[in-house]
Structure 1
Amino acid sequence: MPSIFSYESAEVDWCENNFERSVLIAEYYNTISNVCFFALAPVLVYLNWQYCQQRALPMYLVSALLVCVGIFSTYFHMTLSYVGQLLDELSILWALAVAYSFWYPKVYFPRFIKSRKHFFWLCGVTTVISTLMSFVKPAFNAYALNCIAFHMLYLTWHELKKCNDKRVHRMAAVMVVWWVLAISSWLSDRWLCGLWQAVSFPYLHSFWHVLIAMALLYFCPLVIYFDVSYEMPSFKPMLKYWPSDSWPVVVPYIALEEPHKQC
């Protein structure tokens, strides 16, 4: 029986041909495309610095976990090991758990949850149980994690109905476009591998890494915008773009107006 740390011991093998470009890296492009996760975290922290000063813990924790996602995804695609597969999927699970714990709006809490502290415990217990269940059939984990995105999109739709800022609606629309492109790449690489190998282009999973990072680049400021509205009512969130609104390629971020003076 091969070691769980051995090369190609994972249950999942993506479409890219193994060891085609390196004797040490199983899936070359799927590995190097993870650089986008290493860039994503510092960009989010730098651009949303005003928010970080007010709500440092959630921003830094989520950013650190995004870096972990990049590290473990790199390890997984480099080795295609069973341990790498689990670490890759569990890092995403825990990043989502932390994001939900801090940023899930209180108005959507279940009725039996009375405080954010109780919600932390709910998320923690659920995540621990999900982590243990992940060892049963790791191949299903990725599908389950992608399904969480539908709940996030559902919440976003609900929040947008309360928001009159057209710029925020446009940002959400762009985020959805990036996400659709990303999930299409992921599914196509998984289900239509024979087709892509026939045309010598089995690299769509590496596109998934880049496209989902772009979706997160728009989704995180969207979450921050709504979090400021709920948790920091004395501040007014303002959507801005770096380096400038007039540039053809821009990155969104949230600036905060000074707190309103209390009478």
Structure 2
Amino acid sequence: MTDSMISSFWGPVTSSTEWCEKNYLHSSYIAEFYNTISNIPCILLALIGLVNALRQGFERRFSVLHISNMILAIGSMLFHATLKKVQQQSDETPMVWEMLLYLYVLYSPDWHYRSTMPTFLFLYGAGFAIIHSLVHFELGFKLHYVALCLICIPRMYKYYIKTKEVAARRLAYLYIATLCLGALFWFLDRIFCDVISLWYINPQGHAWWHILMGLNAYFENTFLMYCRGEQLGWQSEVAHLFGFLPYVKIQKPKKQQ
């Protein structure tokens, strides 16, 4: 927002987007302080999910998915810390790559031509990265990202209606709740920034968006891991780490162990 050309450790702002937080208010090394540190919970949640996926012996796709969540959060930190165009790409391009991974995880179990989907998604992701780095289409990027999210919804709903376990269905509710609440914070921070900037305390809506999207990704990944365990004939249940953070606990048949 204000003072976007301020001299700092990183130099002038070159990104096409800024958010409703005063630049370099707390440190000359961090442009948007709260928008930067709010990605830390996202990294920790993805790390917890990764450890669980590896420890329980889930397919490699889930480990890659959790790692992509961490990469996205790190890219977001770099972007908000510097507000440079190159770092903006490190935030936006992984957003699309992550959605392509979700499309693979969601649709690949019923895809008969197994090699075609990952090949197409890889080429699509590489092509997008090249085009987006050359021609930064801000509105087009947002519409493209929303379209990828919408493609995932029918499959998520199919998994939901087939899930009978109450604890697993609760994960789907948490996924929807964090998505809607995060979108609300994003919208308010973006649309009413001029008003919010006059308040004595900035509620940091975009920072809350980061935290809620970190939770959203964790709940979605956990739900998908439960559903995949059921597809593979594993005995799956939703347990809780520290008494509140859900995770999937599985028991494989002896012949698969």
Whole-Å separation in 1 of the counterparts to 2:252 and 2:228: 16
1:205 offset after TM fit, Å? 0.6
**1:255 counterpart (223, 244, 249):** 249
Q: 2:109 aligns with which of 74, 81, 106?
A: 106
In the TM superposition, what is the alpha-carbon distance from 1:182 to its structure 2 partner?
A: 0.9
Letter of the structure 1 residue corresponding to residue 236 of structure 2: P
User: CA 1:186–1:143 in 2, change beyond 3 Å: closer, same or farther?
Assistant: farther
Equivalent position of 2:72 in the other structure? 69
Structure 1 range deviating more: 150-159 or 84-93: 150-159
Cα deviation code 1:205-236 (max 9, x no counterpart): 11111011111121111111122233x23x12
Report the identity percentage. Answer: 20
Cα distance between partner residues in 2 of 1:29 and 1:167: 33
- Stretches (4+) displaced over 4 A: none
2:131 to 130, 133, 152: 133
Instruction: State the secondary structure of the residue aligned to 1:240.
Output: strand
Equivalent residue number for residue 236 of structure 1 = 235
The question of 1:161 aligning with 2:155 is answered: no
> Once the 2 structures are TM-superposed, how far is the Cα of residue 132 of structure 1 from its aligned partner?
3.0
Paired residue type of 1:120: P
- TM-score computed with the length of structure 2 as normaliser: 0.85
Structure 2 residue runs without a partner (length 5+): none
In structure 2, the residue matched to 1:119 is 117
Q: Residues 6 and 101 (structure 1 numbering): CA distance in 2 closer, same or farther, change over 3 Å?
A: farther
* Partners of 1:88 and 1:7 in 2: CA distance: 19
Correspondence 1:144-183 to 2 at 5 A: 144-183=144-183
Do the aligned residues in 1 keep the contact of 2:53 with 2:63 (CA within 8 Å)?
Answer: no
Structure 1 position 213 matched with structure 2 position 197: no
Give the secondary structure class of the aligned counterpart of 1:198: coil
Identify the match of residue 82 of structure 1 among 81, 85, 96.
Answer: 85
Distance 1:97 1:16, change over 3 A: same
Match of 1:29 in 2: 34
> In 1, Cα distance between the equivalents of 2:70 and 2:12?
23
Equivalent residue pairs, number: 245
Structure 1: gaps of 5 or more residues:
245-249
Displacement after TM superposition at 1:180 (Å): 0.7
Q: Is the 8 A contact 2:108 2:117 kept in 1?
A: no
The one-letter code of the counterpart of 2:174 is: V
Cα offset, 1:8, TM superposition:
0.9
- Indicate yes or no: 2:18 matched with 1:13: yes
Q: Displacement of 1:30 after TM fit?
A: 0.6
| Deviation (angstroms), 1:24 | 2.0
User: Aligned partners of 1:98 and 1:163: how far apart in 2?
Assistant: 22
- Separation of aligned partners in 2, 1:6 and 1:98: 35
